Copies of this chain bind each other. A is one copy, B any other.
């Protein structure tokens, strides 16, 4: 099984409004509720690809109960195992307000429950027990209040100690600290990469992230696809056309593509093609953690992967 870690799980609410007006009052016509947090989205895409996934992280309160109920009712839930660790605080909500006039989304993210040192210790124990059964582990998203900023560095080291390949998908200081523990793959988007390396030129920034500790860097370029730098080579993968739709969750689908390719021992160009096709196919889906299977099948052979110069 593939283990996904989501320390800041969420109940994701999507509100569709005919037009979002600042300082206006809106009657929501349609409310969608989904189990959320990046690692949960990754796990749901993995399940849809036929992989067994175990999800861990924190869960608590009535919103936590809601999250677990949504997770057990999600498509592909027979391939998903809930190994979330209970905490005293309440799981956060995120609200995505979709403006139907423009298709744009305004995102409101609650901070999440405060995690106590005892809860963090309980998580580390659970994580240590799950690792030996994992073929790969993904560490995803932001840290809830109370979790040490070096949390991902700790989790990366544990995974490496257990011989389990580890992918890190976060941003800012937690990413910077995590890099130093030498994860197998990091998957920042170009803004996150610029934030930690100080350069927005993708190839240069990806090389810099490798220098800081990542074995391979797979940088999301948004609608332009993905750039990867490994110790031996560099590639760029581009979708056949820019797709319009909801980009929420596209990055999580890309992580599922990279991880599934890793455990299937695909060559890097094939992992990249899968990540880019899944990402594009999820832009067509209405909610994060899902993708349009027909679009994926159609897009996969059309992704163009090109070699990039490895050295500066």
A interface, CB within 8 angstroms of B: 13, 15, 17, 20-29, 31, 62-63, 65-66, 93, 95, 97, 99, 102, 104-111
Contact = CB atoms under 8 A, between A and B. Distances in A.
A23 B104 contact: yes
B95 A25 contact: no
A63 B65 CA distance: 11
Contact of A27 (B22, B31, B99, B111): B111
B20 A107 contact: no
A22 B109 contact: no
B99 A25 contact: no
A87 to B, nearest CB: 16
A26 B99 CA distance: 16
Nearest to A66: B62
Contacts of A24: 106-107
Nearest to A105: B23
From A66, A99, A102, residue with most partner B Cβ within 10 Å: A66
A151 to B, nearest CB: 18
B110 A28 contact: yes
Contacts of A110: 15, 28, 31
B104 A28 contact: no
6 contacts: A22-B106, A25-B106, A26-B107, A26-B109, A28-B110, A28-B111
A22 B63 CA distance: 26
A17 B97 CA distance: 15
Contacts of A95: 15, 95, 108
A20 B17 contact: no
A108 B17 contact: yes
Nearest to A31: B110
Contact of A29 (B22, B97, B111): B111
A49 B289 CA distance: 49
Given A66-B62, A95-B95, A108 B28 contact: yes
A109 B25 contact: yes
